[in-house]
Structure 1
Amino acid sequence: MEEDPVESPDVVASVSVDLPTDTAFALFTDGIDRWWPKRNSFSRGTAAFIGLTEARGWYETGGDGETLGWGAALAWQPPQRLLLAWQISPDTQPWSPEPDPAKASEVEVRFLPIEPGRTQVKVLHDGFERHGPGGAGMAAGMASPMGWPALLEAYRVVAEREAGAPAATPE
């Protein structure tokens, strides 16, 4: 008899920025290359470009011109919500692309207005059990200070520059 897989915990992280929701959404998507750390790519710092579009999902183009997908855009609802597949395999170190979409976890990003000109960006990353035995380790990595909290801090720093004024610290 096969045992039910143990579900990995969800990872939740958020940050507040001094940008209206439409601008916060655009920075997260169209502007991802300006804030996503290049070291957090399959190219390990040599990525020439990191992109995120409704049609292509998120991806990177290496310095050698090779494009590697990170996962599809499953829902694209500007300026309130994104739902992205995380087609990254924890079975190798460093992590590598996962060609099977059935083995992808999901990243939901919500853009919640706090007050005019201020937005909370909330990330919920779940479904790590789909990655198999390495999913729990991936969840732990994305929940660690170097996971989603660090990624949202990088986003906040660029948002602060865009807004021209200090933004709040991560929540």
Structure 2
Amino acid sequence: MKIIAFGASTSFNSINKSLAAYTAGLVDGADVEVLDLNDFNVPLFSEDTEKEVGRPEGAQAYFAKLESADAFVISLAEHNGTYTAAYKNLFDWASRINQQMFAHKPVVYLSASPGPGGAQSVLAQATGSAAFFHADVKASVSIPSFYDVFDMQSGKPTDDAIKVQLAAAAATLSA
């Protein structure tokens, strides 16, 4: 099984990228590829830009990664209660290539924030709209107060309850 994992953020020290990588790594025998959204350069989406430039190379490369996967672990960063601008823009470009971008493949959605909200607003948006993009959401987990329950140095949770939640979410991908 090939799992594509990423944090929906362009932060170089993304807590969501760390969370996605850790969780995807819990799937026994999986080939995990962790994406960095910084590797997929695209202009700001508009129909006018699409007419002018067609489908940017970054969007095509991102979509090719999605096509290559058997499953996904996506951890969502939240900016002002919604998707990060970079992720939303890349997502919009990919949906123009094929709105059914997840092709009924299993998805685990995660979200994390340093504060008490755990990026639950963006997690609700992603799970609520998943069917439009043919994502088969198997689990969703929000991690509030991230730095209190996850060690960025080791790339692992320090809280046993969080470990159990993430293991259960990862297990849904191989079920």
Higher RCO (CA < 8 A, seq sep 6+): 1
TM surpasses 0.5? no
Q: What TM-score, normalized by structure 2, do the two folds share?
A: 0.30
